[in-house]
Amino acid sequence: MANLNVRKGDNVMVIAGKDKGKAGKVLAVNPDTGRIYVEGVNIISKSKKPRNAQDKGGILKQEGAIDSSNVMHICGACGNVVRVRHTGEAAANGKVKSVRVCAKCGASLDEKKSSAKKAAKKAAKKKSAAKSENKD
């Protein structure tokens, strides 16, 4: 199981299992086993024994691995739970590079999206600039 549609940092929703309906960010991917770790999903308890006098022991809560077939992408552009398509896109050096795209809206899932806060700041700057031009 070498090729997975999921990569670290993707936003996904669980579609099967005890955590069905939960959404989160992918923390780690293991392509050899086809399993992934999703933030806040499949929480397991693990016992930790103190190894020295300063070290604290106890029961730790952490994410467990789930199969990659049990999740679907959340598209950043349309906000829906979508399947992933692969299309070829020409790179700068002339080679064709495979790109993951949303099956519904066609938006690229590989591009880094600017955060909502940055977009809001840009919109506020444009608004204030437009108001200052209208006053003059």
* pLDDT digits (tens), the chain, 136 positions: 557 889 999 999 999 999 999 999 999 999 999 999 999 999 999 999 999 999 999 999 999 999 999 999 999 888 899 999 888 876 777 788 888 898 888 888 887 654 444 555 556 666 666 666 666 5
Whether 7 and 67 share a structural domain: yes
- Alpha-helical (H) ranges within 30-79 are none
Q: How far apart are CA 60 and CA 52, in angstroms?
A: 17
Beta bridge pairs of residue 38: 26
Whether 126 and 108 share a structural domain: yes
Structural domain span for residue 135: 84-136
Locus of tokens 């996904």 = 12
Write down the pTM of the prediction.
0.72
Alpha-carbon dihedral of residues 89, 90, 92, 93, nearest 10 degrees?
130
Beta bridge pairs of residue 100: 86
Q: How far apart are CA 21 and CA 83, in angstroms?
A: 16
Whether 95 and 130 share a structural domain: yes
